[in-house]
Amino acid sequence: MSGIGLSVGLDLFPLLAATLASVTCGLLGNFLVLRRLSLMGDAVSHSVLPGLVIAFLLAGTRSSLVMFAGAAAAGIATVLLVEIIKRLGRVEPGAAMGVVFSVLFALGVLLIETAAARQVDLDADCVLHGQLETLVWYGAPESLRSVFSLETLRHTPRQVWTLLGVCVGSLLFVGVLFKELRIAAFDAGLATTLGFHAVWLHYALMIFVAGATVASFEAVGSILVIAMLVCPAATARLLTDRLGTQVMLSVAIAVVGTVAGYFGATWVPALFGIDSVNAAGSMTVVSGVMLAAAVIGSPRYGMVARALRRRALRRTITRDDVVGAMFRASESGSAIESSNLDPLGLRVAERDGLVTTRGGAPRLTDRGQHFGAALMRRRRLWEGYLVDRAGLQADHVHAPAEVLEHLGLEPGAGAAPDEHGCPMPRADGTGLDDQGASGSGISDGSVR
């Protein structure tokens, strides 16, 4: 067999099966992540064991169709039991899933110990790791052109056809009911009010998840199924706030993770002189690495982006505090030493042209005077608002007003003037309003 024929025979059907499973799980996983039901795949994977045993006890055979029917029934039963316990027991979804899959898995173990099933090899390892390596195409054609023929369809393994059917069904389900699924995922009450029957949508989604999970077990194993239900959707969620974009990104991420993991299972170990590793496990690792990369480097929600935003916010607040302190000192006609000012805030204010240190002592520039006047106006308006509208005591408003002044927003129309007898700077920072303070009897010295 030539190199092309060998590659097609070894890789075509395993890669196709893994891709179909990953696309299906990645697609449905978006709605599980939004509903905080990401571990439903894990629950189903533990709960199929009693279904497999009961199917064997009833039919007396280990044929693929019988095993699939038993596993599918167990998966649907798991979904229904989780919903029943969650609603009647009023517990969180995670607790309900933990109870159901623990009990069903234990039931499966007990059933295996029965006389009828004890001598039968119900290999749980294949369900865990999958059997991608068994989907080899013996007698594959020597040229790529011959691959695209009816003969290829005749040699396509049953697992690939099953996964193709589930994938097409899931695509149609999400495509036709996308609007309803989107509304139900974010606001089930609104979906029901609009006549979408959110409860039935939820059950339909769970049935598709159970079907996709069970259909993928024999080929790719539960490890990859659980990872693909969570990782692509969670990665895409970190990259966008639009559900349509998230769904498309999750499918693309699932495909990339599958292909990279499949070939990485052979090529990467070869670089270190060791044998190939399990393909499903390699795909799972690649998906986890992609999720970790998104957690660190996401433009909006990543650790780096959030650290940079916190750093910029800290510099802005420190700068505002320095300018505010210098403006209050200029209002009272007192001098302020640079040693009493935060060095970082002083540097940022000087960089922004609000403060100059020429001649030794720092002082506000004209731009800094306008900026400080607007800052103090916001603080004093917020202090008056908190006393007049929020009902706080006048000596309790300093700290919240100091936080609110950094928002760059003034209270709404009708806000009370300053409650501390301080002059109110105009909004443009050019002077003082004619409107005085309401006079609460608190001296200006109480304003920090």
* pLDDT > 80? residue 337: no
Shared domain for 80 and 212, answered yes or no, is yes
- DSSP letters, 34-90, are HTT-TTHHHHHHHHHHHHHHHHHHHHS---HHHHHHHHHHHHHHHHHHHHHHHHHS-
Between 198-239 and 64-88, two packed helices, what is the crossing angle to 10 degrees? 100
Amino acid in the structure at residue 251: V
The domain that contains 121 carries what CATH number?
1.10.3470.10
Q: How far apart are the first and last CA of the chain?
A: 85
Do 205 and 334 belong together in one domain?
Answer: no
| Residue 262 near residue 283, CB atoms below 8 Å | yes
Q: What is the pLDDT of residues 341-372, one digit of tens each?
A: 888 988 999 899 999 888 778 888 899 889 98
What tokens appear for 191 in the block? 């979906």
Q: What is the mean pLDDT of residues 390-394?
A: 83
Structure tokens at 16: 């196709």
What one-letter code names the amino acid at 365? T
CA proximity to 29, closest of 285, 209, 229: 229
Residue 106 pLDDT: 87
**Averaged pLDDT of the chain:** 79
Q: Are 20 and 171 in contact (CB under 8 A)?
A: no
Residue 338 has pLDDT above 80, yes or no: no
Of 87-91, 120-124, 396-400, which gets the smallest average pLDDT?
120-124
Same-domain pairing of 190 and 335: no
- Which of 60-69, 78-87, 290-299, 316-325 has the lowest average pLDDT? 60-69
Residue 282 in domain: no
Domain that holds residue 372: 308-446
State whether 431 and 334 are in the same domain.
yes
Looking at per-residue confidence, does 204 or 157 come out higher?
A: 204
* Dist. CA 217–CA 224, nearest whole Å: 9
Which residue, among 296, 317, 316, 318, has the nearest Cα to 307 in the 3D structure? 296
**163 within 8 A of 23, measured Cβ to Cβ:** no
User: Which residue, 207, 222, 237, sits at the end of a domain?
Assistant: 222
Q: What is the pLDDT of residues 142-151, one digit of tens each?
A: 555 655 566 6
Residue 115 lies in a domain: yes
